[in-house]
Structure 1
Amino acid sequence: MSEDTLILVLAIDRGAGPEPLTRHRTKAAVPFGGKYRVIDFTLANCLHSGLRQVLVLTQYKSHSLHKHLRDGWSIFNPELGEFITPVPPQMRQTQEWYAGPFDAIRQNRYLIERNRARRVLVVDGGSVYRMDYAELVRAHDETGARVTMAVRAVRGLGSSTQVGVTLDERDRVAGILPPREEKRERDVESAAEDEEHFEAMGVYLFDKAFLMAELDRIECGSIPDRDLALDIVAPLAAEQSVFGYRFGQARGRVTPDGYWCDLSTLDAYYQANMQLLRAEPPLDLYQADWNILTYQGQYPPARTVPGAVTGNEGVFVNSMLAAGTVISGGGVNHSILYPRVQVGDGAIVEASILFDGVRVGEGAHLNRCIVEKDVVIPPREQIGFDARLDRERFTLSEDGIVVVSRGAWE
């Protein structure tokens, strides 16, 4: 199956939703869950599904992502035909960057053509979920579909940001609607709160020959090219064999927790991380046969020590602490600390996410914050308590989450 399926991971999204976290990196490279990057979940799906021919199409501020792929994902054996290869725009025919997802596929046509695979799996590298792609491939072969798209069931009106998908009794795709139209239609129909419908997940499996024919048929620049479901798959649904694959079913080796998040806003990103701190989190990171790989520096163990001045013990409650973190007489509650974070004497960190290398000064107090990599919080600084003052200095989400970016005190 691995030799028969080529995977294209789309990592070209600027990630305007979770801005300013994407100010210095592409969305796929945004940190997640205390030690990972967002793209690690998609690549782990490829690894555990036995699909190991992976091209990662990159574009926007891709250095951080390329470095992560080199350091954390140089694990496949090229002698066995395995690879994870970043592919920025090659400009073989024009001097243009990737104009959209379909154009990214078009610009790498030569890589698809020279590969012996007979299927092409196109996935979004900016979403967090676990999925056995091998079962998707089997379902695709069983139905004889030319295109299979993964869909997830939602209840009631569902999301207002995702593409809606209608399936018939055979799970053939009968229709695809833009997010606002799909929501409006369901509003008009007064859909019951517990009524099930489907949304696209950004996972598409194409027969290679069919995809090549579509590249020939659809002229460059003739479609909006913003979303594969709307611009490519929707017109095919009425005339071609397009099937939906239901996410979270019993088939496959992943615990069917049904978790999926596209991190479309700062608040969605914050909530997705905070949910990992629940006693029973919606995303199970601890399934032994589906571990999420990543790059980790060789840092010493995390530790707590008494403060040098107060003598208070460093404490943390219901939090994630990565390697190299030191809490020196401070307190951390319901928070996620990435590697090499330092919390000073008397400092308090509550309901916050601190990226790699953050230092919190003595007596500082953070509440509901996301702090960027290597930021130094001055001693006795108060953040997350006065929305007006915080808005003048930092970025505030709709729900009042404070994002402290680099250079905030320059």
Structure 2
Amino acid sequence: MKDVLAVVLAGGKGTRLEPLTRDRAKPAVPFGGCYRIIDFTLSNCLNSGLRRLLVLTQYKAMSLDRHITLGWRDYFCRELGEFVDVVPPQQRIDEQWYQGTADAVYQNIYAMEKERPKHVVILAGDHIYKMDYSKLVAYHEQQNADLTIAALKVSRDEAQSFGVMQVDNESRVVGFEEKPTEPKTVPGSDDECLASMGIYVFNAAFLFDELCKDATLPNSAHDFGKNIIPSIINTRRVFAFAFLDENAKTQAYWRDVGTIDAYYEANLELTNVEPELNLYDDRWPVRTYQPNLPPAKTVFADDDDGQGPRKGEALDSLVSHGAILSGGIARKSVIGPGARINSYAQVDESILFAQVNVGRHCRIRRAIIDKGVHIPDGMEIGYDHDADRARGFTVSEGGVVVVAKADGLLSTS
């Protein structure tokens, strides 16, 4: 993998995840208590032997840059030619923001050519999954392909949000449509489609040529799915690679957490007795930045003192380091680093980001509380959606209440 360069696209706005993306890029949104979404892609790279990484950022990238600097630089040795470099828009070629996925890569073509790779792996930094990219590269070389696309079977309804492929008996791509309204199904099934995961392996020289060609087309959206791939499938060797899950579970795990409800469900799944995503697999570890915090702590186990029982406990929950359950109860929740649940408070089926402080006698249900927010004593969230909206909180289609850092409650940066 020494002649392979990985390019991680991490510049999307993540508008469907607002208000969680008001102050951070989507790949920097916390996940599973102590992780960030991008940690899964970066961990896949490291576990796959990919040690030359360019992370292309754009919108609200400060927290993402800080996270990678603090948590990821030590895994790579620059003297051995290893690196993870965060690359903001350079405007070396164009003075505009990135116009599409292909344009984002094209505008950084000098940084890629400088490394002289044989292959370029292009990845998205905003999905949750485990995958060995070295197997993808090996398949690409075996097929003598110009481009290989990682593929996942999805339902016909889901396929409308993906690039949908048709392949022949040798897995060569013979058709491709980006987000079709009437997606074509795989042979033998009326409800399954073969979707692109947005994971590509290109021969480097071929990629650079195609990017330069596409950049000159005035009507192009400069996007891999809309433009590059459809333009080459009839003339070049383009293959699909079936997703091989490294999650050590019977069902393949891949999640697009691009909406509040999808993000919420993916987090809450982790509290199950046997969650579909295995975070405890030493064979395929998920790495992240771990701040120097003490162990999580529970305080008080009193009998009823007239205000109700005061117990510091967590049931069916993930509790991150530095968290304190000071006489409060968390049930089926994800508690972030340094969060605190004070006496008589109840937190049910909720996600607390780092340093959230839940005041005494609060009741919180089916909510996401952003970093550093202080919930005043006695406040109820998630029990009356009209009242939640009146306070300025966001309520998703699925009834999840999101309390952002700027919603009028005391918060830290």
> TM-score by structure 2 length?
0.92
Deviation of the 1:26 alpha carbon: 0.5
379, 382, 389: which one pairs with 1:381?
Answer: 379
The 1:133/1:41 distance shift into structure 2, 3 A limit, reads same
Alignment match, 2:131 = 131
Alignment match, 2:408 = 409
Does residue 284 of the first structure (1) align with residue 282 of the second (2)?
no
> Is the 1:248–1:256 contact (alpha carbons within 8 Å) kept by the matching residues of 2?
no
Alignment match, 1:116 = 116
SS at match of 1:218: helix
Amino acid at match of 2:237: S
Alignment match, 2:83 = 83
Q: How far apart in 2 are the matches of 1:156 and 1:213?
A: 34
The 1:254/1:79 distance shift into structure 2, 3 A limit, reads farther
SS at match of 1:230: helix
The 1:53/1:361 distance shift into structure 2, 3 A limit, reads same
Alignment match, 2:165 = 165
Does residue 368 of the first structure (1) align with residue 366 of the second (2)?
yes
Q: How far apart in 2 are the matches of 1:226 and 1:256?
A: 38
Deviation of the 1:117 alpha carbon: 1.2
Alignment match, 1:268 = 262
Alignment match, 1:19 = 18
Deviation of the 1:286 alpha carbon: 1.5
Structure 1 window deviating more from structure 2 (270-279 vs 138-147): it is 270-279
Alignment match, 2:39 = 40
Q: How far apart in 2 are the matches of 1:118 and 1:17?
A: 36
The 1:39/1:361 distance shift into structure 2, 3 A limit, reads same
Does residue 235 of the first structure (1) align with residue 231 of the second (2)?
yes
Structure 1 residues 304-337: Cα deviation after superposition (integer angstroms, max 9, x where no partner): 1017986722111000000111111111000000
> Is the 1:307–1:328 contact (alpha carbons within 8 Å) kept by the matching residues of 2?
no
The 1:182/1:156 distance shift into structure 2, 3 A limit, reads closer
Does residue 351 of the first structure (1) align with residue 341 of the second (2)?
no
Q: How far apart in 2 are the matches of 1:296 and 1:220?
A: 45
Alignment match, 1:107 = 107
The 1:221/1:265 distance shift into structure 2, 3 A limit, reads farther
Does residue 218 of the first structure (1) align with residue 214 of the second (2)?
yes
Q: How far apart in 2 are the matches of 1:254 and 1:228?
A: 31
SS at match of 1:272: helix
Deviation of the 1:223 alpha carbon: 4.8
SS at match of 2:215: coil
SS at match of 2:160: coil
Alignment match, 2:253 = 259
Q: How far apart in 2 are the matches of 1:25 and 1:221?
A: 32
The 1:139/1:163 distance shift into structure 2, 3 A limit, reads same
Amino acid at match of 2:32: G
Deviation of the 1:156 alpha carbon: 5.3
Alignment match, 2:151 = 151
> Is the 1:101–1:225 contact (alpha carbons within 8 Å) kept by the matching residues of 2?
no
Gaps of 5+ in 1: none
Deviation of the 1:40 alpha carbon: 0.5
Q: What CA RMSD, in Å, does the superposition of the two structures yield over aligned residues? A: 2.2
Q: How far apart in 1 are the matches of 2:95 and 2:106?
A: 14
Alignment match, 2:297 = 303
Amino acid at match of 1:46: C
> Is the 2:10–2:126 contact (alpha carbons within 8 Å) kept by the matching residues of 1?
yes
Deviation of the 1:281 alpha carbon: 1.2
Alignment match, 1:54 = 53
Q: How far apart in 2 are the matches of 1:96 and 1:178?
A: 24
Q: How far apart in 2 are the matches of 1:368 and 1:159?
A: 28
Deviation of the 1:113 alpha carbon: 1.4
Deviation of the 1:178 alpha carbon: 2.8
> Is the 1:132–1:254 contact (alpha carbons within 8 Å) kept by the matching residues of 2?
no
Q: How far apart in 2 are the matches of 1:273 and 1:376?
A: 21
> Is the 1:164–1:182 contact (alpha carbons within 8 Å) kept by the matching residues of 2?
no
SS at match of 2:387: helix
The total of aligned residue pairs comes to: 403
Alignment match, 1:67 = 66
Amino acid at match of 2:193: H
The 1:204/1:391 distance shift into structure 2, 3 A limit, reads same
Alignment match, 1:399 = 398
Amino acid at match of 1:123: L
Q: How far apart in 2 are the matches of 1:117 and 1:348?
A: 54
Structure 1 residues 198-245: Cα deviation after superposition (integer angstroms, max 9, x where no partner): 111110110011012112322346354364222211221122111001
> Is the 1:73–1:84 contact (alpha carbons within 8 Å) kept by the matching residues of 2?
yes
Amino acid at match of 2:229: V
Deviation of the 1:17 alpha carbon: 1.5
Percent pairwise identity: 40
